[in-house]
């Protein structure tokens, strides 16, 4: 049956099923092993004072956010562009681009949820004796899990966007390092930012992931500027910083999804 004879919701179910079949046949479960290995390496170099004092927490949070961004980008940077010829053919027979992208979003959401769980478990095991006693909005481990999930997922959605724009897997892999560098350099963790670079940093996932982890650890000096920016006078600044970071990461993800649909609808104009 051609895609044109299936409803939008039906197309989502079909393509979600296809994604999970590929997960098995292409052994994409190896991504979970890679995530565990990456976090194992990071756990070897993060300080024993993480979650105890500002500088070690900031450095450790930066390393964890770097890993989460890398994991998310690597998940789907080639997932759309490698099927571009198939998408073009099926688009002409009734494929709804929105359904196709949303199917990938559903699949990647599940993948990111598992990967974020692995990251959270490793972080908690590494810092078991000196984790904060309580969370800000939810239990501490859940605050941390949601933060890491949103960083991985939003990075994954950036990759979906890039994969929807470029026409080949080679181009996608060429673009990915530049996306990663912007996210890391503009986080504010390594280099002081001002002027234009400060403005750019407000649109990076790494900045908000870093601020969220610092807020969970109650390292006030690391996020003082953000408290002032959101007008947190008289309220719990760490909780407001964490909530604002979550909302921004969700907003970024939604924007990347919408842009992916917009750009992929131009697939019929490919000259290949």
Mean pLDDT over residues 114-129, rounded? Answer: 93
Angle at 103 between CA 254 and CA 118, to 5 degrees: 75
Polymer length in residues for the chain: 272
Q: How confident is the model at residue 45 (pLDDT cuts 50, 70, 90)?
A: confident
User: Could you tell me which residues come within 8 angstroms of residue 181 by beta carbon, excluding any fewer than 6 positions away?
Assistant: none
Stated pTM of the model = 0.89
Neighbours of 246 (CB within 10 A): 18
Q: Which residue's entry shows tokens 């049956």?
A: 1
pLDDT, tens digit (0-9, with 9 covering 90-100), for 220-242: 434 344 433 333 444 567 888 89
Q: How confident is the model at residue 47 (pLDDT cuts 50, 70, 90)?
A: confident
Mean pLDDT over residues 96-113, rounded? Answer: 95
Mean pLDDT over residues 156-176, rounded? Answer: 93
Neighbours of 197 (CB within 10 A): 13
The region that residue 219 occupies, defined by phi over 0 for left and psi between -120 and 50 for alpha, beta otherwise, is: beta
pLDDT, tens digit (0-9, with 9 covering 90-100), for 2-42: 565 678 788 999 999 999 998 888 888 888 999 999 999 99
Handedness of CA 186, 187, 191, 192 (dihedral sign): positive
pLDDT, tens digit (0-9, with 9 covering 90-100), for 168-186: 899 999 999 999 999 888 8
pLDDT, tens digit (0-9, with 9 covering 90-100), for 198-211: 888 888 999 999 98
Q: In this structure, are residues 240 and 228 in contact, taking their beta carbons and an 8 Å threshold?
A: no
Q: How confident is the model at residue 216 (pLDDT cuts 50, 70, 90)?
A: confident
So what's the pLDDT on residue 259?
Answer: 96
Cα–Cα distance measured from residue 85 to residue 82, given in angstroms and rounded to the nearest whole number? 8
Residue 255 has pLDDT above 90, yes or no: yes
So what's the pLDDT on residue 187?
Answer: 80
């Amino acid at each position: 049956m051609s895609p044109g004879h299936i409803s939008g919701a039906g197309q989502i179910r079909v393509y979600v099923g296809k994604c999970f079949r590929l997960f098995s046949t292409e052994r994409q479960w190896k991504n979970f092993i890679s995530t565990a290995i990456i976090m194992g390496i990071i756990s070897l170099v993060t300080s024993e004072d993480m979650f105890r004092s500002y500088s070690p927490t900031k450095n450790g949070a930066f390393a964890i956010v770097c890993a989460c961004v890398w994991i998310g980008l690597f998940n789907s940077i080639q997932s759309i562009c490698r099927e571009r010829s198939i998408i073009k053919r099926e688009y002409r027979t009734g494929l709804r681009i929105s359904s196709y992208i949303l199917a990938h979003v559903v699949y990647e959401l599940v993948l990111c949820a598992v990967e974020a769980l692995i990251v959270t478990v490793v972080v908690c095991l590494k810092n078991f004796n000196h984790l904060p006693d309580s969370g800000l909005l939810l239990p501490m481990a859940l605050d941390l899990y949601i933060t890491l999930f949103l960083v991985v997922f939003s990075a994954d959605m950036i990759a979906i966007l890039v994969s929807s724009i470029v026409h080949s897997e080679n181009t996608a892999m060429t673009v990915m390092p530049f996306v990663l560098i912007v996210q890391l350099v503009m986080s504010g963790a390594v280099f002081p930012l001002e002027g234009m670079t400060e403005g750019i940093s407000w649109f990076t996932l790494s900045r908000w992931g870093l601020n969220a982890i610092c807020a969970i650890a109650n390292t006030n000096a690391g996020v003082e500027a953000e408290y002032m920016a959101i007008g947190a006078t008289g309220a719990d600044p760490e909780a407001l910083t964490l909530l604002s970071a979550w909302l921004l990461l969700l907003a970024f993800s939604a924007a990347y999804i919408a842009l992916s649909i917009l750009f992929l609808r131009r697939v019929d104009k490919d000259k290949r």
